[in-house]
Amino acid sequence: MEATYDYAKKLDEQDPLATYRDEFYINEAGLYLDGNSLGLLSKRAEQSLLDLLETWKQYGIDGWTSGEHPWFYLAETLGKQMAPLVGAHENEVIVSGSTTINLHQLVSTFYQPTEGKTKILADELNFPSDIYALQSQIKLKGYDPKDHLVQVKSRDGHQLNEEDLIEAMTEDIALIVLPGVLYRSGQILDMKRLTEEAHRRNILIGFDLCHSIGSIPHHLSEWGVDFAFWCNYKHLNGGPGGTGGLYVNQRHFKKVPGLTGWFSSRKDQQFDMKHELTPAEDAGAYQIGTPNIFSMAPIIGSLTMFNEVGMERIREKSLHLTSYLLTLLKEELNGYGFIVRNPMEENKRGGHIYLEHSEAARICKALKAERVIPDFRSPNGIRLAPVALYNSFEDVWKAVQLLKKIMENETYKQYENKRGVVA
């Protein structure tokens, strides 16, 4: 790859997904490289939200069963459409809750300690909210998280060694919860291998897919993963605080969810109004409360693009973008103190690049002043996520040139090296 503007333009001219950029609202005066935190609004997502507002206006309460997208069945309908993104059967996915609510639901269901098998296995690099939820669930079972939450350590502070994870699958582990893609380094864990190793030891295993869904292909059903959960506002562009999703392997459908509620019911019996719950016979049983219809609405439009393009093509462009970014960083920013913490192997690298620098917070502020939107991660991390559906190779080239200018001119020094309230 060439570190030239003309080469970037050539790559864009050859990009079969380039037209999808026009589907999004993009500030052409800036460069948005934070799609792994919050994806941009698409025109289709906007329209599907307006459409559901219209059904409220037109039908009132009858919107639950009328219109193009009846609200009563929307979680299941979106689950079917989302299933190909995670390699699941249609009835194994439901759009519901949020990342942490869904994690609580799944752990409350699958974490059933028995004598001698009482611990949950996680890792020290996972996103904090997952750890908070696991600690809470352990306490609810009457155990001390200090003794019953096992967090596998990283050898280098950035990536996980899968041999270490497997070695930690001891006889006292009842449940495993791991990220599919690490939120800092972007490392992809071998979910298939880890699932096989867990099941060989009679341990249930689930994955947090927040940084992998919409970015890399999955084959959860084929791999035999027990459960998974995720948000839909990053790579899936479902909007801030958008409704999340979860997957439950169909072999577990006869389980009663740990947290049951109004929408856990079978659809045909929900309004019988009995005090004895008859759970849905699929992933729908893992819903709890009434769906947040307007938080689900943008996902309708967004998913149409993913199902048009397919995850294989999205992944192909994503890898091309991040490879080009790595090439430019090496060519243009060598000697400025940046350290790339991603795996270099393409089969182990997710959809973003993670840099470390001692002046990371002020560098991010300087980038924003240049209208480049990165993501700062305390204490010294910079995440850059060129997204396949709306970022161009020209975006990547321009961002690196602006970063180089900031470092050459030391303009970052005019800012405080301290994160904002929201990093």
Residues that constitute the known binding site for pyridoxal 5'-phosphate: 99-100, 127-130, 208, 211, 233, 262, 290
Residue 49 corresponds to which amino acid?
A: L
CA separation for the pair 101, 329 (Å, rounded):
38
Residues 319/353, Cβ–Cβ less than 8 Å = no
User: How many degrees, rounded to 5, is the angle at CA 238 between CA 29 and CA 94?
Assistant: 165
In degrees to the nearest 10, what's the CA dihedral of 289, 290, 293, 295?
Answer: -20
Shortest CA distance to 133 belongs to which of 45, 76, 210, 81?
Answer: 210
Shortest CA distance to 245 belongs to which of 213, 221, 199?
Answer: 213
Shortest CA distance to 63 belongs to which of 302, 305, 301, 297?
Answer: 297
Per DSSP (E only), the strands in 29-114 are: 31-32, 93-95
Strand arrangement of the beta sheet that strand 353-356 belongs to? 339-340, 353-356, 381-384, 375-377
Binding residues: 99-100, 127-130, 208, 211, 233, 262, 290
CA separation for the pair 242, 49 (Å, rounded):
12
